Structure 1
Amino acid sequence: MTFTRTVELDGHIIDSGMMQQAMGIVMDLGGDFDVEQFDVGRQKDEPSYCRMSVSADDRETLQEILHELHQIGANLTDPVDARVEASPADRVVPVGFYSTTNHPTDVRYQGEWLPVEDIEMDCAIVIEETDDGPRASTKVLNGIEEGDLVVTDEAGIRVKPPERPRDASGPFGFMQGGVSSERPSESLIEEVAEALRETKADGGNVLVVAGPALIHSGGGDALAELVREGYVDMISAGNGFATHDIERGLYGTSLGMDMETMEHPRKGHKHHIYTISEVIRAGGIAEAVEEGLIESGVMYECVKHDVPYVLAGSIRDDGPLPDTITDTIEAQNAIREQAHRADMVLMLSTLLHSVAVGNCLPSTAKTVCVDINPATVTQLLDRGSSQAIGMVTDIGTFVPTLAEKVLEADDDNDDN
């Protein structure tokens, strides 16, 4: 006996490789397909459309194939209402619950398609009845409450991956090439700067995810300038980043190394713990700025210009600073709130924080990940952040060059 369902793909399915992926999935999982309709877009900005029937010898295999096709944006042509089931207990989801991608998603409920709010990968979809009608949103497993109406299976779910046109048009422009350490970094940084300016001009929010290496490599002043000039709306980092940024202002060192001479002064290795102690004595970073203890740096500019920051702690942290969130779940929720508001994200030389933020981002957020270590960049992309572009380069060169190009454009506009 053969089991068959029909799916459709539309958009730039040839340029993005979606068509090839779909056929590969069916064959790799032991199924068969028949292309019933295939309309090829003949212009660069013209989408394509494919309808194909997918079959397998048993229902389980067909379901597995449909699940994999669904993840890349292939949707059933005969949608039905999503299946929902009440959660039996707090933090317990029904068996077979639908686990989200990070792509824009709709769920069909009571005959209508509802956009899923706050989309991110690896979450459940919960339907909530409100005075204004039903709404759908994501919830992490830890946030599930007894009685929540949780969507199960793929039925009634529609996923829409970002478009990938042939040219550099569309929402991602230059972001077509994945990871690169060979493309001319100067021109690519200029394109990142242009995307940053466009995001701000359109009223979007820019989130910077920063690691301590940014301070060690001398990029702190440039990032502080971008904060001061209004190009950074939020910062996500850890205890180490903030500590070494403040240490540099207090002692001229970062992790004990003199930032001017690149030497290690006597007792320099104690500067970071002295820094933490002084900030604790003041009551926090904002209090230390107000009393004049902190007079420069990224954290100083954040306080002075009301730029919110999340410092997520780890088991390794010294101190930590009073502002550092040491509760893991609380830190996740704070990061998640930032990620949901971000239209563009710069991930600067931090593997753990980049992956953490990347897990919370929708695929519609422009994401640039920069690190001297290729593993950091590839791990982010492998994790599922298909919208990210990776640059393998020195962060101490990237950030100052980016700031220079962003602010140069401002000067040119002022002259005109």
Structure 2
Amino acid sequence: MTVSRVVELEGHIIDSGMMGSAFSIVMDMGGEFDVEEFEVGRRKDERSYARMRVSAEDEETLRSILHELHQNGANPADPADATLTPAPDDQVVPEGFYSTTNHPTDVRYEGEWVGVERMEMDCAVVVEDTDDGPRAYTKVLNAVEAGDRIVTGEGGIRVKPPERPRNGGGAFGFMRGGVSSERPSETTIRQVAEAIAETKAEGGNVLVVAGPALIHTGAREDLARLVREGFVDALSAGNGFAVHDIERDLFGTSLGVNTETADHARKGHKHHIYTISEVIRAGSIPEAVEQGVVESGVMYQCIENDVPYVLAGSIRDDGPLPDTITDAVEAQNAIREQAHDADMVLMLSTLLHSVAVGNCLPSDTRVVCVDINPATVTQLLDRGSAQAVGMVTDIGTFVPTLADELLG
């Protein structure tokens, strides 16, 4: 017995490839489709619309197909209210709960669509009544509380993946996703600079996610310039980044190597341990700056210019610095706050932190990921951050050139 359901696609569904993807999903998963209505937008500002009946041999197959279509922006033509099920206990979600994508999402509640706040992937959706009306928002599983009304199943949910613009897209026109080492570096860096400037002009926030390689390659002073001049609104990094940034101030080295001459300093392998000791002695990075122990660098400029930072610890950290958050869940929550405040994110030569921050970002946040290793950007895209633009180049070239573009 054949079962079927009608779904709708709306927007720039041809340009973005959404319609072709929908056809492929149905065919690859053993279903059939019939396009019942198709209206093509004939101008750049017009949207297209398709109404498609999807059929399968049984309910289970149809449900699997509809789930995949839903993740790609095809929504039921006859939506009912979302099903809400109370969480049975703290950190326990109901069976069949809806696990979010990172795309903008609405849930249908009492006949009205309610936008889901704080979108990020792999979360539950909680719906509650407030004095100002219904509210829907995401919660990570370890934050779920007993009694939270959790959205379950696929019904009453509308997903809206970002669309590829038909026009140039302004300064952000180059941000079409993908990884390439063939793009002209200077042109692309100039476009990144224009995108940052446009974000700041619109009152947006720029988050920088940085790895220790940025210090090792000699780009420290240029990132510090960008912080000082107000182009960086928040910094997310690890213990190692801050240690080597401050080591450069105290000893002129990064991991024991002079970043200007590439010479290995005598007993330079001890410099990062001495650095940690000096900061611990001062009490923290802000206190080390206040006491005159630290007088330059990225962390110095963050303190001097009130730029918030999160240093997330790892199992391999030396020390760590007093400012480093060693509780993984606490660090993740701190990163999450940064991510939700960001309008544009620069991920600079750090695989683990790029993926960690990327997991917290909604898909309409602009992301530029720069690394000498293309696998870093590929893994970020594979994890679901499809909006990321990858640039494969030396971070020691990228950051100074970017600073020159922005600061003249």
| TM-score bucket of the superposed structures, by smaller chain | over 0.9
Partner of 1:14: 14
Partner of 1:3: 3
Percent identity over the alignment is 75
Question: How far 1:292 sits from its partner (Å)?
Answer: 0.3
Question: How far 1:171 sits from its partner (Å)?
Answer: 8.6
Question: How far 1:172 sits from its partner (Å)?
Answer: 4.0
Residue 364 of structure 2 aligns to a residue in which SS? coil
Partner of 1:332: 332
Residue 276 of structure 1 aligns to a residue in which SS? helix
Partner of 1:352: 352
Supply the distance in 1 between the matched residues of 2:386 and 2:353 (Cα, whole angstroms). Answer: 17
The answer to whether the 8 A contact 2:108-2:114 is kept is yes
The answer to whether the 8 A contact 1:205-1:342 is kept is yes
Partner of 1:411: none
Supply the distance in 2 between the matched residues of 1:171 and 1:252 (Cα, whole angstroms). Answer: 37
Aligned residue identity for 2:120: E
Question: How far 1:45 sits from its partner (Å)?
Answer: 3.6
1:402 maps onto 2:408 in alignment: no
Supply the distance in 1 between the matched residues of 2:109 and 2:314 (Cα, whole angstroms). Answer: 41
TM-score by length of 1: 0.97
Residue 223 of structure 1 aligns to a residue in which SS? helix
Question: How far 1:13 sits from its partner (Å)?
Answer: 1.0
Question: How far 1:69 sits from its partner (Å)?
Answer: 0.4
Question: How far 1:48 sits from its partner (Å)?
Answer: 1.4
Residue 248 of structure 1 aligns to a residue in which SS? helix
Supply the distance in 2 between the matched residues of 1:68 and 1:171 (Cα, whole angstroms). Answer: 32
Taking structure 1 as reference, are residues 92 and 314 closer, same or farther at Cα in structure 2, changes over 3 Å only?
Answer: same
Supply the distance in 1 between the matched residues of 2:310 and 2:133 (Cα, whole angstroms). Answer: 34
Aligned residue identity for 1:138: T
Partner of 1:266: 266
Aligned residue identity for 1:125: V
Taking structure 1 as reference, are residues 357 and 177 closer, same or farther at Cα in structure 2, changes over 3 Å only?
Answer: closer
Supply the distance in 2 between the matched residues of 1:259 and 1:407 (Cα, whole angstroms). Answer: 23
Residue 84 of structure 1 aligns to a residue in which SS? strand
The answer to whether the 8 A contact 2:177-2:387 is kept is no
Partner of 1:156: 156
Supply the distance in 2 between the matched residues of 1:267 and 1:44 (Cα, whole angstroms). Answer: 63
Ranges in structure 2 where 5+ consecutive residues have no aligned partner: none
Partner of 1:30: 30
Alpha-carbon displacement from aligned partner over 1:177-211 (angstroms, at most 9, x marks no partner): 51110010100100000000000000000000000
Moved over 4 A (4+): none
The answer to whether the 8 A contact 2:125-2:137 is kept is yes
Question: How far 1:46 sits from its partner (Å)?
Answer: 2.7
Residue 354 of structure 1 aligns to a residue in which SS? helix
Partner of 1:109: 109
Question: How far 1:165 sits from its partner (Å)?
Answer: 2.2
Question: How far 1:338 sits from its partner (Å)?
Answer: 0.3
Supply the distance in 2 between the matched residues of 1:271 and 1:171 (Cα, whole angstroms). Answer: 42
Supply the distance in 2 between the matched residues of 1:280 and 1:273 (Cα, whole angstroms). Answer: 11
Partner of 1:181: 181
Taking structure 1 as reference, are residues 172 and 106 closer, same or farther at Cα in structure 2, changes over 3 Å only?
Answer: farther
Alpha-carbon displacement from aligned partner over 1:77-136 (angstroms, at most 9, x marks no partner): 101100010000111101110000101111111111111000000000001222222200
- The total of aligned residue pairs comes to 408
Aligned residue identity for 1:385: S
TM-score by length of 2: 0.99
Residue 174 of structure 2 aligns to a residue in which SS? coil
Question: How far 1:170 sits from its partner (Å)?
Answer: 6.7
Partner of 2:48: 48
Aligned residue identity for 2:227: V
Two-structure CA RMSD over aligned residues (Å): 1.0
Taking structure 1 as reference, are residues 31 and 110 closer, same or farther at Cα in structure 2, changes over 3 Å only?
Answer: same
Aligned residue identity for 2:116: V
1:314 maps onto 2:311 in alignment: no
Supply the distance in 2 between the matched residues of 1:254 and 1:45 (Cα, whole angstroms). Answer: 52
